[in-house]
Each structure stands twice: as structure tokens, then as C-alpha cells.
């Protein structure tokens, strides 16, 4: 009797369709309605009006065509970009902006990696920071003031509700402000993983710079500094986006620290709230582990020490 259904093509098609639909509902649609299928990272917060406006601009300008926002759980990706992406990070992303092509680097962990001033200058002139970049300049965005009414319309469509007071704060902001605000929040719900130290304090004695005073290392360090550090700390390390490196202040506290502390900061970067030798970091400096060798880091430190000694000599003579 069971084989009779194969002799009735119309009935067979109907039964087959019903079975497939039931199986699909049980294995796909019903689980999609459960809470565990919609995870949310505990630290994740809804976008502010300014950040949400910036997200719209990011999407409008097609930034997701050149930049991805997802780090795959592969060793090479994690080493380069940071912690791999989690589903719960994107609970408020409508639509997702994961992207599929990396003409530019992945941005999944770009939030708080650099200070706001760095992003403003980078958007205005990408080639100031990366000479080979083919990214368009977006400085013109600062000429366009945000329209609170238009932004509110987008928020209503997405189901975000904000007070009139919050919306009114957009009055004096422009599109570049919004874009920077959005970029600075990307991926920040996942704590930034400290880079693996390639060298640090292994004994109670401080580690000395093996290239201290080496003229060749100072010259090499100068070139490395100009390429990697001068955009933030100034051409002569007198400070700009980042702090001065030739004064007597280290991590916002008077008094210099040893070369191995310099090495650790170059290697690991700075993370907001992290404490180094009793001094609290404000964050904003990326880690150079993987981008510079140990010898190159020590060369940069040799050059910074050369500049500091030069400045101290001027102060004594002055």
C-alpha cells in the first residue's frame, strides 16, 4: 500500500512538499524564534543618535564595499585584526555591514584603537597616514550639517527610540562628526585583547636597550619613527595627536620611565584604563607587535632617547 503513492505523482508532490515544509519549520524557523538564536553581548549598548547617523553615512558612502567588519576565527586574522567576531555583537545592526571584500583593512576592532583626532585627519587625508592608500578623502563631510528630522526618520524606521533632547543634540554636529562617532564604537563591546608581549621584565632588574647609543640604530629609528609615529607624535616628537615624547612626562605623570617600559608600550599599544608602573593609560595608541621586529622597536627607542637628550641639552643651555 505504501508504494501506491509513487504511482500518484500529484499526491506524491503534495506529501513531499508538506514533509519538506514541516522539516524546514522544525529545523529552521522555530529555532529562529528562540532567544538563544538572538544572542547579545552583555556589554553591547544601542547606538546613540550621533553614532546611528554615522552608520547611515558609512553605508551611504559605500565604506562596506572596501572594508569588512568581521574577523574570522582564524589564527592569522586574529593576530592581525584582534578577537574574532561574535554573533552577539551585531544585535543592533540593521542591516549588517559585514562586507565581503577587503580593499582596505577590516574594521571590526577599529573602535577606540586611535583617538578621535586621528580619525578626523585620516578621513580628511588618508595618504597622510598611509601613502599607498587609494581611499577617497572625506573631509568634505564636515561641510554637511546633520538634519535632526532626517536622522529621526531613519531611527523610527529601524525601531530606535530617542528623546527629543537627545535628537536636539545633533543640531550643531556635522556628518564627519557622526562618521567618527560610529567608527569609534565599532567592535567595542568585546574587550580589546592585550597583545602578546615579545619581551618584558623577566627579573627584578630592568631590561636595557641593547642598541642604546648605537648610531646606526638611531638613524634606523629615525626612519621608522617618521613612517610609523610622526603623524601622531609630531615630526620632532614634540606632540600632536599623541603626547610629546621629549618632555619629562610619561603616561600623563611627571617622571620618565625605563627603556623596557617604552618597549612594552610600543609592543602592546595603550588600552584605556590599563595601568603601567602605577600610571593609567588613556588609550589610543595601537600595538606594533607583528608590524615591527624587536630590533626595530629598540631602534625607535634609541632615536627617542636621542631626541630627549638633545632637548635636555637645549634646556640646560637655555
- In terms of domains, do 174 and 229 share one? no
Residue 209 within any structural domain of the chain: no
Helix (H) or strand (E) holding 276: strand 275-276
Residue 108 within any structural domain of the chain: yes
Nearest to 285 by CA among 243, 237, 224, 236: 243
- In terms of domains, do 120 and 167 share one? yes
% pLDDT > 90, the chain: 47
Each residue of 91-139: pLDDT tens digit? 889 889 999 899 999 999 999 999 999 999 999 999 988 888 999 999 9
% pLDDT > 70, the chain: 92
Q: Does residue 201 register a pLDDT over 60?
A: no
3 state DSSP class of 106: coil
Each residue of 37-69: pLDDT tens digit? 667 788 888 899 999 999 999 999 999 999 999
Q: How many CA atoms lie within 13 A of 28 on its CB side?
A: 6
pLDDT band at 276 (very low <50, low <70, confident <90, very high): confident
Residue 16 within any structural domain of the chain: no
- In terms of domains, do 156 and 53 share one? yes
Can you state the percent helix, strand and coil of the chain, rounding each to 5?
Answer: 50, 5, 50
Residue 193 within any structural domain of the chain: no
Residue 37 within any structural domain of the chain: no
Per the prediction, the chain carries an average pLDDT of 87
User: What string of DSSP letters covers 207-271?
Assistant: PPPTTTT-HHHHHHHHHHHHHHTHHHH-TTSS-SSSPPSSSSEETTEES---HHHHHHHHHH---
| 132: CB partners within 8 A, 6+ apart | none
Angle at which helix 259-268 crosses helix 294-317, to 10 degrees, equals: 130
pTM of the model: 0.79
Q: Does residue 221 register a pLDDT over 90?
A: yes
Structural domain count, the chain: 2
pLDDT band at 155 (very low <50, low <70, confident <90, very high): confident
Residue 26 within any structural domain of the chain: no
As a whole number, mean pLDDT of residues 279-307 equals 91
Residue 149 within any structural domain of the chain: yes
- In terms of domains, do 149 and 252 share one? no
- In terms of domains, do 177 and 244 share one? no
- In terms of domains, do 225 and 104 share one? no
Question: For residue 295, what are the domain limits?
Answer: 215-313
As a whole number, mean pLDDT of residues 223-249 equals 91
Q: How many CA atoms lie within 13 A of 88 on its CB side?
A: 11
Amino acid at each position: 500500500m505504501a508504494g501506491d503513492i509513487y504511482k500518484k505523482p500529484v499526491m506524491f508532490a503534495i506529501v513531499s512538499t508538506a514533509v519538506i515544509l514541516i522539516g524546514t519549520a522544525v529545523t529552521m524557523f522555530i529555532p529562529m524564534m528562540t532567544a538563544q538564536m538572538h544572542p547579545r553581548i552583555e556589554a553591547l549598548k544601542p547606538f546613540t543618535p550621533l553614532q546611528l547617523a554615522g552608520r547611515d553615512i558609512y553605508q551611504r558612502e559605500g565604506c562596506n564595499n572596501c572594508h569588512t567588519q568581521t574577523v574570522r576565527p582564524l589564527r592569522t586574522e586574529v593576530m592581525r585584526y584582534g578577537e574574532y567576531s561574535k554573533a552577539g555583537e551585531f544585535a543592533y545592526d540593521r542591516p549588517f555591514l559585514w562586507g565581503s571584500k577587503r580593499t582596505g583593512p577590516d574594521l571590526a576592532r577599529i573602535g577606540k584603537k586611535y583617538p578621535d583626532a586621528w580619525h578626523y585627519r585620516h578621513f580628511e587625508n588618508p595618504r597622510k597616514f598611509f601613502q599607498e592608500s587609494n581611499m577617497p578623502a572625506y573631509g568634505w563631510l564636515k561641510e554637511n550639517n546633520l538634519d535632526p528630522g532626517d536622522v529621526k526618520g531613519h531611527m523610527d524606521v529601524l525601531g530606535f527610540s530617542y528623546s527629543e533632547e537627545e535628537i536636539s543634540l545633533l543640531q550643531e554636529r556635522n556628518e564627519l562628526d557622526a562618521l567618527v562617532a560610529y567608527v569609534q564604537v565599532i567592535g567595542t563591546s568585546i574587550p580589546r585583547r592585550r597583545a602578546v608581549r615579545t619581551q618584558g621584565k623577566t627579573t627584578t632588574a630592568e631590561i636595557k636597550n641593547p642598541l642604546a647609543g648605537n648610531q646606526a640604530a638611531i638613524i634606523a629609528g629615525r626612519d621608522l619613527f617618521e613612517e610609523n609615529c610622526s603623524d601622531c607624535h609630531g615630526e620632532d616628537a614634540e606632540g600632536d595627536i599623541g603626547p610629546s615624547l621629549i618632555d619629562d612626562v610619561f603616561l600623563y605623570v611627571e617622571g620618565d620611565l625605563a627603556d623596557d617600559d617604552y618597549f612594552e608600550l610600543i609592543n602592546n599599544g595603550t588600552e584605556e584604563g590599563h595601568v603601567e608602573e602605577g600610571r593609567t593609560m588613556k588609550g589610543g595608541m595601537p600595538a606594533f607587535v607583528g608590524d615591527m621586529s624587536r630590533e626595530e622597536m629598540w631602534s625607535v627607542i634609541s632615536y627617542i632617547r636621542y631626541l630627549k637628550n638633545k632637548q635636555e641639552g637645549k634646556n640646560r643651555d637655555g
